[in-house]
Amino acid sequence: MKIRTGTNIEQAISAGWHPVTGEELQKIVVGNTAWGDYPGGFRFVSYCDPDGTCIGTNNVGSDNGGNWKIDKEAATLSISWDRGWLATTTRAVSRDGVVHFFDHDTGNWRTSFTRTEPGRQALVV
């Protein structure tokens, strides 16, 4: 199943994607650099520091900083950006090293991590 705009989390789970737990989410996100995609054909790279801050840039030259929070019980990741990027609370599914995030309220696809590396890497899309 190809995850794209219009796909929701229940479809992904039904297609065999693994629902990510709060503990797994912590390991995927915190202290790692992630490269990925979001609606509209955009690509990004971001880093979530263990101190609760995050930074990111995208393929159209925009960059931003903000704050992140993981609710381990609800298995959600919330990110609020400082300058105009969409604030989100998402749940995730994973398979084969790819993590897809879906809006907590609507269930619709929001973003994907196609690759992660430990530590803060160069933010080059």
Strands (E), the chain: 18-19, 32-38, 42-48, 53-58, 63-71, 76-81, 88-95, 98-103, 109-118
pLDDT digits (tens, 9 = 90+) for 3-16: 767 788 999 999 99
Euclidean distance between CA atoms 79 and 116, whole angstroms: 17
What pLDDT is stored for residue 1 in this prediction? Answer: 63
Euclidean distance between CA atoms 21 and 121, whole angstroms: 25
* Domain map (residue ranges) of the chain: 9-118
Region 48-62 average pLDDT: 97
The pTM assigned to this predicted structure is 0.93
Tokens, residue 64: 């931003």
Pick the CATH number of 9-118 from 2.60.40.1840, 2.60.40.1660, 2.40.128.640, 3.30.465.10: 2.40.128.640
